[in-house]
Amino acid sequence: MIKYSVIIPAYNAEKTIAACLESLLRQDTGGEEREVIVVDDGSSDGTAAIVRGYPSVRYIYQKNRGPAAARNNGVRSAAGDIVLFSDSDCDAARDWISQMVRPFSDPAIAGVKGAYRTRQKEWVAQIVQAEYEMKYEKMKKEKYIDFIDTYSAGFRRDLFLGSGGYDESFPGASVEDQEFSFRLYRRGCRMVFNPDAIVYHIHSAALTGYFRKKFNIGFWKISVLKRHYDKILRDSHTPQTLKLEMILVYAALFCLFFAGIFRGRELFRMAGALLSCFIALAIIEMRKVFAKNPSLGVFSIMVMFLRSVALGSGLLCGILAGNMRNSDK
């Protein structure tokens, strides 16, 4: 009898899907039966042929509707009592499944979140990983969490379906996992973080890709906060320092803008003071990076500045887009 179902959404994933499946098929589950399901979200490359080369992997095709729909589709087809999610560009540590399902021995646990690691050496990718590590340190202090990312996620299948699954109105991979997690938390469901449930990921190695991802998160975060306004102040994933950094950066840019117009020295000084505060916060945030590689640490300050700009501009555009949608009703 199948106990665990691992669901991987895939879209044009021919470069990474083989490594992902190899890592899942070599899992040691202690004798418990498991299945691996790939939901092909309308790929136009060689993804289908590669997946079909693994007879033990179930292949499901759907027209392109996004990863939320692919995951929901996979859960509906799953035979396991526990459904696990990862991404097609991840490869799992050998004990990932066993670590993911371990907390479910407590019948009160509804969901489990695992952790990212990376083998990359590029500076941007290392900073991305450092960001995650900082968030993990925060989550380790929480008995229960309210935020499970889909790259390493587990839920009880009946609960997942009974809660409506991921909201398929979110396009692409954005914040549908946040919204679903907050929905479960509001219902009183208990979710936990297991830092030993590890998948390895290929993070963005270019600043342009990093900016786009952060902008996208900020843009769609508005839709999440409209439904879960209590999460504006705090969630178990987002560091409070990030919010303060965004305020400091945009206040500094505001001062510089008007200082340029009115040539006000006081505004220039204020902008400098605000940026100094931002730099101090960024250094504290990335202190482990500075300890390992001071040059990378200095570079991380620029990346943190870019993060604040990208998230802030995404949030602003999301607010404006939300206002337009409301005005059309």
Domain that holds residue 320: 240-328
Q: Does any domain span residue 75?
A: yes
Q: Does any domain span residue 18?
A: yes
Q: Does any domain span residue 224?
A: no
In angstroms, the CA 173 to CA 329 distance is 26
The alpha-helical segments, DSSP class H, found in 26-165 are 47-52, 67-77, 96-101, 123-140, 157-162
pTM: 0.92
Give yes or no: residues 196 and 245 share one domain: no
Give yes or no: residues 113 and 247 share one domain: no
Please provide residue 89's backbone torsions phi and psi, each rounded to the nearest 5 degrees: -105, 20
Give yes or no: residues 200 and 263 share one domain: no
Give yes or no: residues 67 and 200 share one domain: yes
pLDDT for res 45:
97
Give yes or no: residues 254 and 130 share one domain: no
Q: How many CB atoms lie within 10 A of CB 38?
A: 29
In angstroms, the CA 20 to CA 54 distance is 12
Mean pLDDT (10-residue bins), the chain, 329 residues: 93 97 91 91 97 97 96 97 97 96 97 97 96 94 96 97 94 87 96 98 94 95 93 92 96 93 88 97 95 96 97 95 50
pLDDT for res 280:
97
Give yes or no: residues 154 and 273 share one domain: no
Q: Does any domain span residue 217?
A: no
Give yes or no: residues 148 and 261 share one domain: no
Give the residue from 182, 205, 228 where a domain finishes: 205
In angstroms, the CA 182 to CA 218 distance is 16
User: 103, 86, 73, 76: which is closest to 6 by C-alpha?
Assistant: 86
Give yes or no: residues 297 and 162 share one domain: no
Give yes or no: residues 149 and 257 share one domain: no
pLDDT for res 1:
78
**Contact by Cβ (8 Å): 41, 66:** yes
Helical (H) or strand (E) element with 95:
none
Q: Does any domain span residue 145?
A: yes
Q: Does any domain span residue 118?
A: yes
Q: How many CB atoms lie within 10 A of CB 186?
A: 13
Give the residue from 205, 231, 256 where a domain finishes: 205
In angstroms, the CA 164 to CA 139 distance is 26
Q: Does any domain span residue 308?
A: yes
Alpha-carbon 143 to chain mean position? 20
pLDDT for res 322:
77
pLDDT for res 105:
96
pLDDT for res 328:
38
| Domain count within the chain | 2
Q: Does any domain span residue 116?
A: yes
Give yes or no: residues 121 and 26 share one domain: yes
Give yes or no: residues 196 and 268 share one domain: no
Give yes or no: residues 51 and 163 share one domain: yes
pLDDT for res 59:
98
pLDDT for res 170:
86
pLDDT for res 329:
32
- How far is CA 299 from each of CA 134, 190, 321, rounded to the nearest angstrom? 17, 38, 33
**Contact by Cβ (8 Å): 107, 190:** no
User: 7, 4, 159, 8: which is closest to 97 by C-alpha?
Assistant: 4
